[in-house]
Structures are given as structure tokens and as C-alpha cells.
Structure 1
Amino acid sequence: MRSGSSSAPVICSGISTGYCAAVDEFLKWYFSDRPVIASMLGADGYDHTLGDFSAEAWTARARETEAWLERLSVTEPSTLDDELDRDLVVSQLRGAVALESWPEWRREPAAYLNPIFGSLFTPFQQRLKPEAELVDAAIARLAEVPAVLAACRANLDPDLAAPLLVQRALGQARTGRRFLTETVPGMVADEAARARLAEAAKPAGHAFDELVTFLEGFECGGTWRMGERLYSTLLREREMLGYGAPELHEKGKAAWAELDGRMREVARGLNGTTDWRAAMESLMDDHPPTLADMRAEYEAETRRAQEFVRDRDLVTFPEGEECLVLPSAEYNRPIVAVAHYLAPPPLTSSRTGVFFVPYTPDGFTDEQVRQRLRTNCRAQMPSIAVHEAYPGHHWHLSHMAGNPRTVRKVFRTPYFTEGWALYVEKVLHEEGYFDTPATELAHLDCRIFRAARMVVDTALHCDDMTIEQAEEFMSTKASLSPGTAQGEVSRYCAWPTQAPSYLTGAIEIDRIRQSYAGSPKEFHDLIAGSGGMPLGLAEKAVTGASASPS
């Protein structure tokens, strides 16, 4: 068993007494209402249930969220750290209240599927408790799967649910039976426990079959487009940026144009022309021959990045950190076409994370597999390993887990976490890690890809671009194959505001760094260790004074 046993979180460590009571009560409510999130964070006592997914539970949660927002908004902390904690929670609550007009539980099956898949796979992946305890918890959760999927069928509103999101979830649901009856039991070493788990999974597998049949016949006419008003509200209220969707769109266009110019210069050294797309197409032909080889090469690159960061003394490494490099989970393969990361549960002592290499789903043709390999070519691997592992997500989230403020471990935004991972790609470029024209161009390609995301995500959700136009944009303005571009755009439709977080956050973190007087290592340890807060709060944590992102 890997190190990192769970323990009850110290909710108010370091927090002043008056404020502590409110934070303590809030987090207890938050955990009890969202047991899957609580257990994924490493909180004890929540791993035997999936929670209540009935319509009554969703509506009660919305009312209680509004009440907590009202209560915490008027709380007066006495220290800067207390103020940062309060403002972090309030930003998340404001986002949740805004999203009540866009209820995911009535719009998309993912609100029901993701907790099931994640809660049954992740504990066996992380193995923070004895196997027998993991099996008992999984069996308890499996017993609740039929009720959760029945709630999904009952709650989906045909006037709100979007066909695109239903079809996306259908691909996931079709993996459900095999995932529950074969994949999860296959992770259990003890033969008797494995058989017991597989037997308990049969009713859940049948419930997934019923959901697949239901979704195949479900007719709906809702939209996945969020609209400019709500999109901008989330940017301002939840992300605490000083601008909305139109301004973000223009920032993306400007960043793309600037990067395009730089890439033209680098491409000239590769193919004698300024056609960087042609240069990237050529580089993409140099890729690992198989998915297994891709995983092995990513692992080697991850170790190289780790040693480079250590040799340059860019960050302080947390004691006991470990980054595993593994194939992506079967249930994620139909919906995630890129590398991704699973953090160590921050409310435990574990510092083991997983860099998931993007395997293709079963049934992909040889050509589809080849295209996936091309978009993980050898020139791109250094940037991706830096982003996912060192000193990107793995280092950041392992380091952040040492922060004594529980609230900082529970709530984080991709505008910091993804921004951080892209920011450190630029740092390592400055340090000479991308030491060939090929890896430098691929580094810039990873960055211009994020600029393209800013343009496309805002345009899609503000009704300025069709799906087909978005796919064409991503395959011509970044070096994505048509198949990968299609998967990317599907993700943007399902997860509005997330795709722009990478470059937006990277630009803001870089701006904060320019005004910091200490060493790069001191800056990195301080801002990354403060958590994964909205950028305005992260800046306040660094400077100790109010400041607004530009």
C-alpha cells in the first residue's frame, strides 16, 4: 500500500476563533452534502455513499448555498489569511449561485456519471487504505448506483438537455457495465474480495444498461451554449477577473497573433519557411509507435523534467512526492483526448499523483490511434511532461497539500492550477529546457493552442461560432488532427469557461512575478503554496495588499 493514510481534517488550523466556527460549520455541511468530493479530497467518513441525487436534494442544495453565501459574505475575518479563505469560499459560492440558472442536474447525465466513475476508480488507483476497506466501501457505493442512475433518468429535462451533451455521456455510459464488473474488480488482488466485488457490481451494471437504452431513445432540444451574460458573470464573480467574455475573446486573439509571429521565426530554422503548421505536421510524424511506447516515453520525459527542475533549484520539492505515469482510465477515454493528472488527496499525507497518458478507447481504428500518437509526438512530450508533472500540476498540487489552511485544499480554480502549469512551461523555456528548434516550436504550439481555446470557447458559448467552425479553427490555428479537434470542441461545449483558464492564468501569474522582488524559487514556493485561488486572491497572498488583475 502506498503511503498517505486518510485522517479527519483539521478544519480551522491557524484560523482565528470567531471565524473558525463559521468555516468549520460550512465545511461540514459541504462535505456531508457532497460525500464523493469529500472522500476524493481525503476526508474520512464519506467513502461508503454516493449521496442524494434526487431533485429534492438538488433544490435543497441550491437554497442552502444561497444561505451560506449570505452568511459568509458578511463575516469579518481578523487576519489576511482569514480574509483570503473567506473570499475564496465566497467566490465559489457566487459561482454556484450564478449556475442555478444553468442547472447541470437537469441538463446533462455527466452530473450523475462522473461521481460514480471517479468514486469507484480513484480509491483503488490511490490505495490509501487497506484493500479490504476499499472493497467494502465500493460495494456500499455500488448498491446506490441504480438509484443514482434512476435519478438521472427522472431529472433530465428534454427542454434543457442538449443532444451533444447527451451523446457525449452516452459514450461514457456504454463503458459502465464493463468498468464496474471487470475493470474495478480487476484492480483487486485478493481473489475472494474480487469475486465479491464483481457480484455486487451486477445490479449496477444492469442499471447502466438501462441508462444506455434510455439515453439512446432520449429526445431533447436544449442548448449547450451558456450565453455571454452567465459566462461573463462567472469570470467576474467566481474567477474574480476584471473583465467578461468579450474582453477574454479579444485577449485570446491578441495572444494568438503574437505567438503566430514568434512561431514563424522558429519555423524558419526548421523548414526554411515561416509555415509553422507545416513544420509541426512534419514533427508530428516522429511519434512513439504504440500507445504503450507513448506511455514509456512520457515516463522517461517526466523523470528528465524532474531532474532539470531540481538541478536549477526552481522550487522546493515536498517530502515523499511521487508522480506515476499510467494509461488513462478506461471510462475517461471516450471523453478526454489529452494528457491529464490526478492529484494526491490534499486532506491526507499522500504526495503521490498520477499523470494519465491519453490512451484511445477500445474500438478505435488504427488510423485513429495513429492520429492520437501524432498529437503526442516526441517534440511535444517535453512541454506536456512539464505541464502535467514537474513543476506543473504534480509539483504544484503536492506542494499545495502542505498548506495548513483546509479551505485552500478544498477549493481551487483552473484559472490558477491550469494557469500555473502553462506558466511553468514558459519558465522552463527561459531556463533552456526546450533546447532544440523542434521542442521550442512544440512548446510555442502548446501555448498557441491555449490561445486558440480562449478564442473558441468564448465564441462557442456566446453564439459567435458553430461547432464545425470551432473544429476547423482548432485544426488550422493549432496543430490538432481533425479527430483531436473534434474531441476538444466537444469538451468546450460541455465545460464552459474552463478552456480559456490555461493562458489567462499563465499571463496573470507571469504579471505577478514581474513585480515580486525575491528569487524565482521563493516566488514559486509562495504563490503555488498559497493554494489554487482566483488570481486576484493569489496576488494578495503574495503581496499582502489588495490588487486587481489587469
Structure 2
Amino acid sequence: MDEFLKWYFSDHPIVAATLGADGYDHTLGDWTADAWHNREREQVRWLERLSAREASTLDDAIDRDLVLSQLRGAIAEAAWPEWRRDPSVYLGTIFTSMYAPFQHRLKPEPELVSAALSRLAEVPGVLAACRANLDPDLAAPLLVKRGLGQARTGRNFLTRTIPSMVEDPDLRARLAEAAEPAARAFDELVTFLETFECGGTWRMGERLYTTLLREREMLGYGAAELHEKGRAAWAELDARMQEVAVQVNGSRDWRAAMEFLMDDHPATLDEMRAEYEAETRRAQAFVREHDLVTFADGEECLVLPSAEYNRPVLSVAHYMAPPPLSSSRQGVFFVPFTPDDFSPDQVRQRLRTNAHAQMPSIAVHEAYPGHHWHLSYIAENPRTVRKVFRTPYFTEGWALYVEKLLQEHGYFDTPATLLAHLDFRMFRAARIIVDTALHCEEMSIEEAESFMSTKSSLSPGTAQGEVNRYCAWPTQAPSYLTGAIEIDRIRESFRGTLKEFHDRIAGSGGLPLGLAEQVALA
């Protein structure tokens, strides 16, 4: 396993550095077509080699099977090469590699700047590889447009945002100067993408979708079964929400009740961030008071505006974990600010989907005992590979599971916050329905946007951003409710206290759910 991780880190230096591994923070790696093909061959070799290994303990078997699940997923996706289809593959890694080190600050500032200078020098090469690798027959116009939105933030991000994170004025000036060639490379990519003509599809297809569910996520069902699970969950939640809606506005029309609640929202983006800060502290205190989990020593959750480069592509709250291979236990709950060019009405729509009644659920999901608690706690796990690989079907499933957990303990103590809690769960059921239908060619983008804006409480603008995300990231959107349901099912068979169950299953990592069940019930 150590040998495998050495290869993996060398092949994925940005991932390694983001995880906190030493020695990988001065390079962006090789993004040429030859490197991608070589990686695919090495993945097959490692799959064969690790499949032949016997494990002497359960922990060793879990580690091996975790890596095998990741390899099987990667090998399956080689038939659907995102590096030929989507410019965001290149852009996201550049942005993360530049932003995360200055946010985490694991090293002295001169060392951070030195590493950033080395990476900046490689940016033009990475973006040249992007232009060379994009295939007009495979790349989809939707994905290219999405990448173009990100690329347009590149110049300002590199020449202003990143230097502004440097305190020393001389180092700041040096970094800003060195960023100019990389910024010009972004300008060139913008020009390229604006005129790039392509005719590929973003639809994954049912066969590969099912393969990923079974092989990578280790679920016992495929896309069609998952779609039906989503529809059943939506119908059950619909009935429950009708009951609660009566207590909010006297009507069983939960959609109208949610519209009513969303009109009560923070006045500004800054006020939204401040209220999320207060809700995060309240959730943390509640979890401690009810002794639901064990907290990692020194954990801390910051609540900050979302990074500028993410604003064109992410319209919801999100989280950045502490680097698990480091001693840091500080994570960041990012509040979904809008791009600078949004109109006042677009900003208002964003605020409406972060209304006062919705904030408790979101803070629980992103912070306590959701993502921040989980990802700061698993950093204590002694099994290195558990800190390297995790699946959203556990991590997102966990964050939605704990929303229900706190509801069971009385956290959502008004009809308004209870309805919002149920609405978020229904939103995740709608995601299952829409994501599977989109990628199995049963629903158009327009139908998906309509479904999300009528079968959940999303505004039309937010629904559009959500569907855009599903098209670009197949299989991720269903992970929330699917994982939550599976964790609930495993809990029913666990013999021990609630806290013991949480510490064991979540502390074991972000495992595929089949492996998480083995750990929990061993």
C-alpha cells in the first residue's frame, strides 16, 4: 500500500499537496495526453497487482478494497475521458493548487510563495495541454461554456486574489509580477474556448453510470433502481411536508410555504455569512451537549465567503477540509457568494435560497456534525489510505444523515426550520431523480430545470445552476440521500451506543458504503 501511495502521489502531486503530504507542492504535474494514457495503463497494472494480494487483517482488507474500488472506477471512466471533454478538469486543479496552501498556511509564508512561483511557471503548460487535449467530437458545448466561465476568472484570481493573501509586501509584489505570464495563458484559453466548436454529449449513459454505482460505490443496484428509490423517497417526503406546511402558512401546499419562508432572508451577502457563523457555533454546542460524537483535538471551522473562482460554478454552500496528512484540523465552511457581475435580482435569488429558516440545516450539513466534524475527525485515523480516498456517497451521505439525526434530537424546533429540513431532504431526492434521468437520456435540461424548481424549493436561477452541475458531474448528486439512507440502514443493525456507532463508521473514513458496513458491524 505504501508503494501504491508513492506512485499515486507522484502521479497526482496537487492531490498529494492538498492532503498535506510533504514534497509535492512545487509542481502541477504532467497534463499531456501521453501522461493520461500512461496513468490509465498504470491503473490497470495496480488493479491486477492489488487484486492478487491477500490481507491478514480486516483493516488491511478494507484498505485494499478501498483502493480497488477507486481503481475500478477510474478504469471504467477511461471510456468516458473527462480530460478530452471538459476544460474544468484543468482549471479546477490550478485554482485549488494556488488557493488552498494560502488558506491552510501549513508552512511559513516565504515557502508558500516559493511553491506558488514554481506552480505559476507551469500554468501555461497545463493550459496548453488543455487546448491540445480537448476533442471537438467528445467535448460538450455545455461543459465548454461552464469551463469558459471559470477561465474568465483566472486573470483576476492569479494577479489579485492570490497576491492579496500574502502579508509581506515584497513577496506579494513578487508573486503578482510572476502571475502575469500565467494570466496571459488564461486570456489565451478564454479566446480559444470562445471560438471552440464541439459536438459531444455530456450524457454518461446508463451502462457506465450503473458500473460506477456497482464497482466504485459498491452499491448493490444500478441507475434504474436508484432512480426508483429517488421517486419513492420524494413521494414519502411530499406527504410529510404537506403535514408540516399547514403549521407554517395554514395550507398543505409546501411549495407555497417554502416560498413564504424564503422571503425572510438576510438583506446582504455579508449578513448571510454572519448568520451562518452564528448557526455554526449553535450546532457545535448542541452536538457537544447531546454527546453525539467525539471531537478531534484542536478542530476549528472557519466560515468564509466562497472563493472567487468557484462562484461561477457553485451556487450552494460547500466545505474545504483540513489537510488530513498534516497536523491541521482547521476547515472552511464556504458561504455561497455570487459572482461580481450578478444583478441585484440574481443576488436576491441567492439570498432567498439561504433564508433564515434554511440556515440551521445547512450549518449542520457543512459543519457540525457534518462535513467539518467528519473530515477533521478522520484525520486522526492511523490508516493513511483512508485519509487519501473517500467517496461522496459516504461523505455527503453522512452530512445528510446527521441533519436527520439532529432533527430526531429536536434541533429543528420550529415548524419553519422543520419544513426547511424536510425540503433539503426532498431536494436530495429530486437530485436522484434528475441526475439518473439526465444521464440515462430520459430528461432534457429544460425538463430537469423545471423539475428542480417545482418539485423542490429552488428558484429558477438556482435550479439552472444545479442542473448545470449535474450535467458536468454525473453520479455525484444522488450521493447525498443514497448515502444517508444506507447509513440509517446500517445503524439499525449496530449493537452499541449512538455515539459509538458514529465514531466507528465515520471515523473509519469516507468508505464506499459496502466497506463502511463491514467496518461498522465487524
- TM over 0.5, yes or no? yes
User: Within 2, Cα distance between the matches of 1:129 and 1:280?
Assistant: 46
2:321 to 343, 364, 376: 343
AA of the residue aligned to 1:452: A
CA contact (8 A) 2:217 2:391 kept: yes
Q: Equivalent residue for 1:487?
A: 465
Aligned to 2:84: 106
Q: Does residue 352 of structure 2 align to residue 377 of structure 1?
A: no
CA shift for structure 1 position 111: 1.2
Q: CA deviation at 1:272?
A: 1.3
Q: What does residue 423 of structure 2 align with?
A: 445
1:126-165 equivalences under 5 Å are: 126-165=104-143
Q: Is the Cα–Cα contact under 8 Å of residues 144 and 193 in structure 2 kept in the other structure?
A: yes
2:297 to 296, 301, 319: 319
Correspondent of 1:80 among 43, 58, 69: 58
1-side partners of 2:110 and 2:487: how far apart?
Answer: 44
2:153 corresponds to: 175
Aligned twin of 1:96: 74
Deviation at 1:273, TM superposition (A): 1.3
- Confirm whether residue 301 of structure 1 aligns to residue 276 of structure 2: no
1:396 is the counterpart of 2:343: no
Question: Which SS does the other structure have where 2:380 is aligned?
Answer: coil
Question: Which of 339, 355, 370 lines up with 2:333 in the alignment?
Answer: 355
- Of stretches 205-214 and 103-112 in structure 1, the one that deviates more from structure 2 is 103-112
CA distance in 2, matches of 1:309, 1:136: 41
CA distance in 2, matches of 1:118, 1:387: 22
Within a 5 Å distance, the mapping from 1:9-408 to structure 2 comes to 23-408=1-386
Residues 493 and 521 in structure 2, CA contact (< 8 A), matched pair in contact too: no
Question: Normalization by structure 2: what TM-score?
Answer: 1.00
Q: Which amino acid aligns with 2:330?
A: T
The aligned amino acid for 1:200 is A
Cα offsets for 1:330-351 (capped at 9, x unmatched): 0000000000000000001110
Q: Which runs of 5+ in 2 are unaligned?
A: none
Aligned match of 2:432: 454
User: What letter is aligned with 2:380?
Assistant: G
For 1:272 and 1:177, the matched residues in 2 are separated by 51
Residue 58 of structure 1 and its aligned partner are, at CA, apart by 0.5
The residue that corresponds to 2:506 in the other structure is 528
For 1:253 and 1:451, locate their aligned partners in 2 and report how far apart those are by CA, in whole Å.
7
- Displacement of 1:94: 0.1
Give CA-to-partner distance per residue, 1:467-525, whole Å, 9 cap, x none.
00000000000000000000000000000000000000000001111111111111111
2 CA distance for matches of 1:409 and 1:517?
26
In the TM superposition, what is the alpha-carbon distance from 1:74 to its structure 2 partner? 1.2
Q: 3-state DSSP class of the match of 1:346?
A: coil
| Matched residue SS, 2:301 | strand
Deviation at 1:271, TM superposition (A): 1.4
Shift in Å, 1:78: 0.4
Q: Which runs of 5+ in 1 are unaligned?
A: 1-22, 545-550
Counterpart residue identity of residue 329, structure 1? A
Q: What is the deviation of 1:267?
A: 0.4
Residue 249 (structure 1) shift:
0.2
Query: What SS does the corresponding residue of 1:398 show, helix, strand or coil?
Result: helix
What do the CA deviations read for 1:88-137 (whole angstroms, capped 9, x no partner)? 00000000000010011111101111110000001001111111100000
CA deviation digits over 1:244-280, x for unaligned, max 9?
A: 0000000000000000000000001111111000000
CA distance in structure 2 between the aligned counterparts of 1:109 and 1:269, rounded to whole angstroms: 47
TM-score (norm 1): 0.95
Identity of aligned residues (%): 78
1:338 & 1:128 partners in 2: Cα distance? 27
Whole-angstrom CA distance in 2 between matches of 1:190 and 1:198:
12
> 1:427 maps to what in 2?
405
Give runs of ≥4 in structure 1 deviating > 4 Å. none
What's the C-alpha RMSD, in Å, of the aligned pairs? 0.4
Amino acid at match of 2:190: V
Q: Please give the secondary structure, in 1, of the residue aligned with 2:135.
A: coil
> Aligned partners of 1:306, 1:25: CA distance in 2, in Å?
39
Q: Deviations over 1:422-441 (max 9, x none)?
A: 00000000000000000000
Matches of 2:193 and 2:494 in 1, distance apart? 53
Tell me, in whole angstroms, the C-alpha distance in 2 between the residues paired with 1:232 and 1:454: 13
Q: Which amino acid aligns with 1:180?
A: L
CA distance in 2, matches of 1:175, 1:398: 30
**SS at 1:325's partner residue?**
strand
Partners of 1:265 and 1:320 lie apart in 2 by 42
Cα shift readout 1:171-193 (whole Å, capped 9, x = no counterpart): 00000000000000010000000
